[in-house]
Structure 1
Amino acid sequence: MPKPAVFDFDNNAKQDAQTETARKNHVDLVSSLSFSSEASSQGKREADERVQESKDILVSSEDGITKITFNRPAKKNAISYQMCHDIMLALKNASTDNSVMTVFTGTGDYYSSGNDLRNLINDAGEIKNAAMSSIVLREFVNCFIDFPKPLVAVVNGPAIGIAVTLLGLFDIVYASDKATFHTPFSHLGLIPEACSSYTFPKMMGSAKAAEMLLFGKKLTAREAWAQGLVTEVFPESTFETEVWTRLKTYAKLPPNAIRVSKELIRKHEKQKLHAVNAEECSVGQERVTSKEYTEAVMNFISRKAKL
């Protein structure tokens, strides 16, 4: 069992220096991912190679569809920091390729169980650097806010945490009837993320969103559809066939018309979404330095160790 989390206040200066170095390195990466700037052909080749080398994120392009697959079935497709970077690179490539849309799905029984716990604590059981986590999260979510083509989620199984909250930034969400949607942020002493503090009340109404985001109510696929989070639910037995047949038909539509139409639909929201994302990340950074958060995370680890 991991030892209790500790904060080394005497080592703050060293941590601050490490944080600044990490921040600069991350900003350099993010700058290369900007959808508004033209990447050089060499830079694009390097990004392509890096994504293709990833085994936890699979990227393919066929029939006008770029498919990004969470591929850690043994870990319920939990999202690591490396996967965050690989997804950002994949989205950068997809923003300028010949595809009409980009589709996310998962390998195995889960869509994604959300953030890997190792994003939050190290092997010694200590809370990781809060500032760096906030930077990565903010830029990761920004990539979804700014993505210029239709984003489609093919939710093949349970979705948890950020795998759920990101759905508010997607254009279409198709779900198997075995999928569930769970946002247990309060259980971990955390707050909503990925703009869900804004998108969920807008989609569901404030009362339904509060029940999910504040109290962690788990929704079935049918409940998520009734509340506006899911576009359509399909029987598990025909889910893959029905969804991919439909998406391949949509991918034959004129790509420029699709792109311009999405811009018209989304452009008035972008500034608001960026502001919400920044605020959530700022408040979230404060939360992960709190005693309440530390105790909640360690309690969660302790319960998992006993299973």
Structure 2
Amino acid sequence: MDILTHKENGVLSISFNRPEKKNAITASMYQAMADALKDGEADAAIRAILISGRPEIFTAGNDLEDFMKNAPSTAQGGTPPVYQFMQALSQSSKPVVAAVSGAAVGIGTTLLMHCDLVYLADNAKLSMPFTRLGLCPEFASSMLFPQIVGYPRAAEKLMLGEAFSAQDAWDMGLATKVLPLEELLPYAQKQAAKLAALPANSIRTTKRLMKGNQAAAIVAKMEEENKNFGEMLKAPEAKEAFTAFFEKRKPDFSKFS
């Protein structure tokens, strides 16, 4: 199974488990995670959610071959799996804990902005290389990231698309805590268990109050970004970026104005 799910003592654990492909995410994996989150939201016994990857890698982001075959679009009706997953994550009333080690590329970093507690191993390396693919930020990250870390630092990371370390993420305020790799998952599990043991209504209400009136703004920003993302995915710059990736060469954007 590429996505592992487990319920125990009030905690729903969701884990990436596709190490042979660096935990690159396919449409079916997004659907599995979306279904797990929806099930966890409806299950009164679940009081906290934990998302993790493998010690060596969280996720390499989208599986590009699968992504090009199943490019997310709402034009033909229905809600693509990636949208279902991110909507379920951003709208979860229950606390979400993330445990990240190794690389967290693209949506692997974006999803952290929708979690409540973000724990990083000291080997974590985050990146949002959307501009390098001729694309734009996704799933409200263009709004949430500047809110979390401040505009100048968000601009550097989102515009240049360069990777940054766990320490950088903590310094910017994106991470709750940085831990040695061997301590990461046990610590995150312990924190999720603490949340599950507290009064469920108190935790949910506290989360709702802290989130304030952002829900509508997040949905609106997601829609705006997704519209731009979809249009840019069909543009020459993205085609050059993806072609270069598959041909294992450096893309040339000099011919595009």
What do residues 83-118 of structure 1 show as CA deviations (whole Å, max 9, x unaligned)? 111111100110022121111001341111111112
Matches within 5 A, 1:228-267: 228-267=173-212
Q: Is the 8 A contact 1:141 1:277 kept in 2?
A: no
Q: Is the 8 A contact 1:145 1:274 kept in 2?
A: no
- Residue aligning to 2:140: 195
- CA distance in 2: counterparts of 1:204 and 1:239, whole angstroms: 23
- CA distance in 2: counterparts of 1:61 and 1:196, whole angstroms: 29
Q: 1:201 to 1:146 in 2, by over 3 A?
A: same
CA-based RMSD of the aligned residues comes to 1.8
**Matched AA of 2:154:** A
* Alpha-carbon offset, residue 156 of structure 1: 2.3
What do residues 164-188 of structure 1 show as CA deviations (whole Å, max 9, x unaligned)? 0111111110011011101111111
- Residue aligning to 2:8: 62
**Matched AA of 1:261:** T
Q: Which blocks of at least 5 consecutive residues in structure 2 are unaligned?
A: 250-257
- Residue aligning to 1:93: 39
Q: Which blocks of at least 5 consecutive residues in structure 1 are unaligned?
A: 1-54, 123-127
Q: Is the 8 A contact 1:180 1:221 kept in 2?
A: yes
TM-score normalised by structure 1 residue count: 0.76
**Matched AA of 1:233:** V
* Alpha-carbon offset, residue 241 of structure 1: 2.8
What do residues 23-55 of structure 1 show as CA deviations (whole Å, max 9, x unaligned)? xxxxxxxxxxxxxxxxxxxxxxxxxxxxxxxx1
Equivalent in 226, 229, 238 of residue 281 of structure 1: 226
Question: Number of residues paired by the alignment?
Answer: 245
- CA distance in 1: counterparts of 2:200 and 2:83, whole angstroms: 29
TM-score normalised by structure 2 residue count: 0.90
What do residues 208-258 of structure 1 show as CA deviations (whole Å, max 9, x unaligned)? 111111101211101001111111101123223333233323321111211
- CA distance in 1: counterparts of 2:75 and 2:147, whole angstroms: 27
- CA distance in 2: counterparts of 1:154 and 1:133, whole angstroms: 34
Q: What SS class does the counterpart of residue 300 from structure 1 fall into?
A: helix
Q: 1:133 to 1:169 in 2, by over 3 A?
A: farther
Q: What SS class does the counterpart of residue 248 from structure 1 fall into?
A: helix
- Structure whose CA Rg is larger: 1
Q: 1:275 to 1:208 in 2, by over 3 A?
A: same
Matches within 5 A, 1:154-303: 154-303=99-248
- CA distance in 2: counterparts of 1:145 and 1:293, whole angstroms: 27
